Amino acid sequence: MPSATDRLSQLLIKNKVIDEGQLAAALERQKESGASLGKVLLEMGVVKENQLAEVIARELGLEYVDLLEYKINIQATTSIEESTAQRYTCIPIDFEEGRLVVAMADPTNIYALDDMRLSTGYEVKPVVSAREDIISAIRRYYHLDTDVVEEALEGKEDDEVESISGVVDDTPLVRFTTTMIAEAINRGASDIHIDPRENEVLIRYRIDGVCQEIKRAPKNIHQGIVSRIKIISDLNIAERRVPQDGHFGMVSAGKAIDFRVAILPTVYGEKVVMRILDKSSILLKLEDLGFLPESLEKYRDAFTLPHGALLVTGPTGSGKSTSLYATLNVLNTAEKNITTVEDPVEYRLAGINQVQVNPKAGLTFANALRNILRTSPDILMVGEIRDRETAKTAIEAALTGHLVLSTLHTNDAPSALPRLIEMGVESFLVSSAINCVLAQRLVRKLCQNCKVPYEPDPEVLNNLDFPMNGDEDLILYKANENGCAKCSGTGYKGRIGLYEVMPMSDEIQRLTVKEAAATVIMKKAVEEGLLTMRDDGFIKTKMGLTSIEEVMRVVAV
């Protein structure tokens, strides 16, 4: 079997990259130095890196990519860690038909291909590039850190920084901002926080509901980043004294992503929060949200009724909107006239009339709701019940033949009923109009690749009222402290809902009319079979989906 040196010699001669004399000289020098033939030829200046890469690509039947000419997709580069890129001398450069295109110096390295496939979740399409070009690209796209940006901005005033961020599309500062956004998308972040401090800028991503510090940058790049974001969000870059809201969109790996931008002046400068809205998330089915079969059946029975009100409760960021959108996806048929009133309209839904609240123009939830009722809707979705007028109009709509879906800020399902009464809705109307209340929270899912089994302390479980059901040899799971590549070292990957579904029984209706306290309603609901969010979480802990620590983090004792 010919050696690697022989194969390379034959390829170079065959492709007329070198002649016999140059090969002989190179082989002689190789015997003295012991280096590879390719390295010797490069040192002699007989061949160039790109020539070697082209020959290898032609022989393997792969595409050769000149990275000096190719416009690398920054979103693709954030798919793998810098350490991985350096280890295998490779760099992701684009997406193609759902595959990750990776430029490699050695495309025959099956270990590298398998590693990238597992860590990114993409099928990998290898292409061949010159080793030095790959190393240069890694330095260029992975080293967008503070020293590079400081060097680019050294000695520049604020106005010049704004000019750089707004006009030139390939400055280190623009690449820094673009990479920050692309990395957040690839990590599955829901928000990007840019927080100015006295002497630095803190950049954080909210991943699976928890803020994680990503990097600290020098203070002198702050205004440039903010200006760049303002420009792409169509905001006023000269105004720094008042809050501003904007939005922009982009396509990442074939998916449409919207960004909702909020800018808030603080004592150290403007804080920026970018909410990442993945349009594909609204296509989720209810079955994908984490409902247990019994809870899903109760919820489905409630929203398939022809009229009445269904309330989803929980704090900000608990997934209420996602649940409502998934519900609307089920209800959205050609036979139904569905209208929503939202603030803001985060996702566009085909076949549904969506109204954006505009308080400055006098279009509040209550005003919009009154006018929507004149358009003969079958189903209404009110983004949030915030005041007495909206609450009364929504309840009256539910009593006059409409199915009304809405959200409310309460800690559990029973508390929604007294809350509506406190807002000024008569108790007998509340008891008659409400079909069901769904309370929910989101917990992080354990990384299924690295979760750690353990035997829990029975005393701890007993103190938490954890349902043992006679299982003395119970095995639970917890997060791996060091995590793995799939979960970016956190031990958690993704989120799942904890749900509390409370249908309005005859007894709960009577308690509502009597304006009973939430604790009394909760006690009766549990007697009637209500599965509380905490119990729902404990069941999912037993299933190995999450941990006790996560359940107790989001659910009150």
Residues 120 and 183: beta-carbon distance below 8 Å: no
pLDDT tens over the chain, length 557 residues: 455 555 666 667 766 667 777 777 777 777 777 666 667 777 777 677 777 788 778 877 889 998 888 888 877 887 888 888 888 999 999 888 888 999 998 888 888 899 898 888 889 999 989 888 898 888 777 754 544 455 545 544 444 444 333 434 556 778 788 888 888 887 888 999 999 999 889 999 998 888 888 888 888 889 889 999 999 999 999 999 999 999 888 877 667 788 999 999 999 999 999 999 877 666 678 888 999 999 999 999 999 999 999 999 999 888 898 899 999 999 999 899 999 998 878 777 888 999 988 888 888 888 888 889 899 999 999 988 988 999 999 999 999 999 999 999 999 999 999 999 999 999 999 999 999 999 999 999 999 889 999 988 888 888 888 887 766 678 899 998 888 767 877 899 889 999 999 999 999 999 999 999 999 999 999 999 999 999 999 999 999 999 999 999 988 65
Residues 221 and 173: beta-carbon distance below 8 Å: yes
Residue 162: is it exposed, middle or buried by C-beta count within 10 angstroms (0-12/13-18/19+)? buried
Looking at residue 35, its pLDDT comes to: 67
Q: Strand locations in 448-508, DSSP E?
A: 452-454, 476-478, 492-503
Enumerate residues 6+ apart whose C-beta is below 8 A from 523: none
Looking at residue 440, its pLDDT comes to: 95
Structure tokens at 372: 């929507």
Looking at residue 524, its pLDDT comes to: 95
d(CA 353, CA 336) in angstroms, rounded, equals 11
φ/ψ of 478, rounded to 5, equals: -135, 170
Residues 502 and 414: beta-carbon distance below 8 Å: yes
d(CA 103, CA 99) in angstroms, rounded, equals 13
Looking at residue 435, its pLDDT comes to: 95
